[in-house]
Structure 1
Amino acid sequence: MPSLLHLDASIRRTGSVSRDLSAHFAARWRDRHPDGGYVHRDLAAHPVPHITHAVREALLDPSGEHGEPPHERALTELLNTELRDADTVVMGVPMYNYSIPSTVKAWLDRVVTPANMVTPDGGPGPLAGKSVVVVTTRGGSYAPGTPREGWDHQEPYLRAVLRSIGLARDLEFVHAELTLATTVPAMSALKPLAEQSLTRAYETLTSLAASSAEPPAPARSHIR
């Protein structure tokens, strides 16, 4: 039975483009896999605490005693279990100040660990084989030839850090750009381009959800 891990990070509870897009993918995926496992983790509503020195030491050496509180160890184990149990991961990640929300970084700090890393000899690591869809939303555009080309520190970082834990082989980025065109008067002329970008994002996510394979591994279903 396939399983989906659905992550959201927008601080907006309503009117969030990244939430709408990630929910669209999740709904299409669940239509295709009605008996599949599903976990929704809202990193904005329930932020993962930033790691402390003790937590970091425990991540590097899980067998040792480092003084991290039991609830911290339990949270780390839960986050890693959710990721390992998933066959498909969809991440709704808005761009804040040219990069990712700190809540996403806090989640990554718990799962980007030696236990999940690709092996030194180039082996894929224990997380290999998952499909990952990263939905990003940006108020402006960072495409080649735009004034802010090269200012995108969202996709390059996520692509690199996900590669380090073996999630690069089936990794798709879906961008919705110019989302501020609907609210910033100075960007009003860009509304048609914003609408085109959003339409393409929905179409791409529909296609990705429809093409999702059904792996044989069993999974548990719960919503958080």
Structure 2
Amino acid sequence: MKILHIDSSIQAEASASRLLSAAIVAQLKTHAPAAAVTYRDLAADPLPHLTLARFGSAEGEAVLEEFLSADVVVIGVPMYNFGIPSQLKAWFDHILIAGRTFRYTETGPEGLAGDKRVIVAASRGGYYGKASPGEANEHAESHLRAMLGFAGITAPEIVIAEGVAIGPEHRQQALDAALAWIDDVAPIAATA
């Protein structure tokens, strides 16, 4: 099994999404010790934003091949200003490539990368989930689901730690709940 581990938080060791994505990878490795892990830190080593000159570059092809060859993709995603970090959007711009991860047909787009498991470790400073006052401003999870779905990944597993910036107690409760989910769910496909 090949695992691609992506982190995008700028907060280094203080990042909730990094803590969760690392826990997911560790849990997967516990159940599949021979799994090979490729790690990409988009905050420490950001990809350039897509330009016409960069389209189809050797670096872009390498990023796309990392994604295509992975069986499991783990993505650490903080919510910044209601959306995903720009460095993560740049990564998606390198992997959402017509003819490689999707194609256009007469009946609409068709995803070509639906054969992989994607687990998203998301964090939000406030509350933006269903029925919360901030729900209308949630554009990170919805954007991720749209981009992954476009590539054919229609059922990503998403664990969210919400309210992590409200205070230390809220942060710990959110992390504990997310880590409990990881303990229960992450091994399922690792052994399949």
Supply the AA of the counterpart residue of 2:39: H
The 3 A distance-change label for structure 1 pair 105 and 123 is: closer
Unaligned runs of 5+ in 1: 59-72, 184-190, 216-224
Task: Measure, in 1, the Cα distance between the counterparts of 2:165 and 2:84.
Answer: 17
Under a length normalisation based on structure 1, what TM-score does the superposition of the two structures give? 0.79
The 3 A distance-change label for structure 1 pair 55 and 174 is: same
1:146 and 2:123 correspond? no
Would the aligned equivalents of 1:118 and 1:164 in 2 still touch at CA under 8 Å? no
Q: Of 132, 137, 144, which residue of structure 1 is paired with 2:118?
A: 132
Which structure 1 residue ranges, 4+ long, deviate > 3 Å from structure 2?
121-126
RMSD: 1.9
Q: Secondary structure at the match of 1:132?
A: strand
Q: Of 174, 179, 186, which residue of structure 1 is paired with 2:164?
A: 179
Would the aligned equivalents of 1:138 and 1:179 in 2 still touch at CA under 8 Å? yes
Supply the AA of the counterpart residue of 2:130: P
**CA apart distance, 1:154:** 0.3
Unaligned runs of 5+ in 2: none
Match of 1:4 in 2: 3
Match of 2:77 in 1: 93
Task: Measure, in 1, the Cα distance between the counterparts of 2:71 and 2:47.
Answer: 22
Aligned residues between the structures: 190
User: Which residues in structure 2 correspond to 1:139-218 (within 5 Å)?
Assistant: 139-169=125-155, 171-182=156-167, 191-192=169-170, 194-214=171-191
Supply the AA of the counterpart residue of 1:204: W
Identify, as 1 or 2, the structure richer in strand: 2
**CA apart distance, 1:123:** 8.4
Match of 1:63 in 2: none
Larger relative contact order (Cα-Cα within 8 Å, sequence gap ≥ 6): 1
Q: Secondary structure at the match of 1:168?
A: coil
User: Which residues in structure 2 correspond to 1:25-174 (within 5 Å)?
Assistant: 25-56=24-55, 58=56, 73-114=57-98, 115-118=100-103, 120=105, 125-169=111-155, 171-174=156-159
For residues 45-93 of structure 1, give each alpha carbon's deviation from its aligned partner in whole angstroms, at most 9, with x where no partner exists.
Answer: 000001112234x4xxxxxxxxxxxxxx111111111101110011000
Task: Measure, in 2, the Cα distance between the counterparts of 1:28 and 1:119.
Answer: 37
Under a length normalisation based on structure 2, what TM-score does the superposition of the two structures give? 0.91
Q: Secondary structure at the match of 2:102?
A: coil
Task: Measure, in 1, the Cα distance between the counterparts of 2:50 and 2:109.
Answer: 27
Q: Secondary structure at the match of 2:166?
A: helix
